[in-house]
Structure 1
Amino acid sequence: MVFSLPLSLLLLLSTATATAAATSAEAPSSGNTTIYDILPLYGLPPGIFPDTVTSFSLSADGALSVNLSGPCQVDFDYLVSYDPTITGFLHYGSLIGLSGIQARRFLIWFDVDRIKVDLPPPSNYIYFDVGWITRKLEVDQFLTVHSCKSSCRLSSTVNRAFQQAKDFFTGPFW
């Protein structure tokens, strides 16, 4: 049994693959190229990483290393924490084998293993894989690059709990 893809889809995939391959060869040597420029070429939104990226390297095999000015957190639908160095592999539509990104659900931090989008672009959703659990988020919140917040997980958790308690006792029911 032979499967055939429409010619337009084959052209789209070959163009994306060629662009991604050319970019991976050029990225480490180009001083003006940023990670925010590279991600859309791979079908990913630019706001996956915070605004504190100081450098990055991308090898021909897709190995990616992103350096931040320090640890930080960004509030999406989930609070996401970034280590000063994030590593993984960049492929068209996904970042796999990630190290250095965690997402918080309730009071528990989970390592993000993979970030992916639906293909072909444009995608409405972005997916964070944390172990065997996948969290689907609206891609719109990743279209812009976000500023970092304090990275102290304990004080952030305590502050949020305090604010929730304060809102509960001063809310409209009292």
Structure 2
Amino acid sequence: MAVEQKSGLTASLLVFVSLIFFLPLSHGDPIHDLLRSNGLPAGLLPKAVKSYTLQENGRLEVFLDRPCLAKFENRVYFDSVVKANLTYGELAGLEGFSQEELFLWLPVKDIVVDDPSSGIILFDIGVAHKQLSLSLFEDPPDCEPKGQEILSFTSGVLGIGGRKQKGFEVQR
């Protein structure tokens, strides 16, 4: 009887210790786990993700509480809905994700990790392909509410003060 209690106690202790060591490794955040399982770093999307949908064809829609700003190497802007086609190692046809480059906000079109062992991630910002270190994207960033400097970003045209800018002419 005493042997059975000791073996039961030992088994319980072993399970408890295993949980202590292995639970912190599981972040339990489905969208970030989804990115990892598809060869992408979890930190591509902010902590503030409310929910997401993934269709069978790979169309991913990520919903945030509100548009927000985060920082990797440069500042990035997430709209309240970020859409992309998810395949292994790639988010293609991104919508709702922009990056600041030399005081301009440019839409990020694609994000690609060709070879994770290279430590490089590729951002296609239309006018250029930018290579960044994967280490910048290990952890999901905090995302602050958007500031006054960015009031809207729609269809690749930066809007300030609720107006869309086109060339030098301000449209109402």
TM-score range, shorter chain: 0.5 to 0.7
Q: How does 1:24-173 map onto structure 2 within 5 Å?
A: 34-119=30-115, 121-152=116-147, 154=149
Indicate if the aligned counterparts of 2:59 and 2:86 stay in contact, CA closer than 8 A. Answer: yes
Deviations 1:26-75 (A, max 9, x none): xxxxxx76110101111000000001000001111100000011111111
In 1, the alpha carbon distance for the partners of 2:119 and 2:29 equals: 26
Q: Specify the alignment match of 2:18 in structure 1.
A: none
In 1, the alpha carbon distance for the partners of 2:148 and 2:104 equals: 10
Instruction: Name stretches of at least 5 consecutive residues in structure 2 with no aligned partner.
Output: 1-27, 151-172
TM-score by length of 2: 0.68
Instruction: Name stretches of at least 5 consecutive residues in structure 1 with no aligned partner.
Output: 1-31, 156-174
TM-score by length of 1: 0.67
In 2, the alpha carbon distance for the partners of 1:82 and 1:94 equals: 18
Indicate if the aligned counterparts of 1:118 and 1:124 stay in contact, CA closer than 8 A. Answer: no
Indicate if the aligned counterparts of 2:66 and 2:145 stay in contact, CA closer than 8 A. Answer: no
In 1, the alpha carbon distance for the partners of 2:46 and 2:92 equals: 18
Cα displacement (A) at 1:153: 5.1
Q: Specify the alignment match of 1:9 in structure 2.
A: none
Letter in 2 for 1:40: R
Indicate if the aligned counterparts of 1:83 and 1:101 stay in contact, CA closer than 8 A. Answer: yes
| Change over 3 Å in CA distance of 1:93–1:153 after alignment to 2 | farther
Indicate if the aligned counterparts of 1:125 and 1:136 stay in contact, CA closer than 8 A. Answer: yes
Aligned length: 124
Q: Secondary structure at the match of 2:57?
A: coil
In 1, the alpha carbon distance for the partners of 2:148 and 2:119 equals: 30
**Structure 1 residue ranges, 4+ long, deviating more than 2 angstroms after superposition:** none
Q: Could you tell me the percent identity over the aligned residues?
A: 33
Cα displacement (A) at 1:82: 0.3
Higher strand share: 2
Cα displacement (A) at 1:92: 0.5
Q: Larger Cα Rg: Structure 1 or Structure 2?
A: 2
Q: Secondary structure at the match of 2:149?
A: helix
Higher helix share: 1
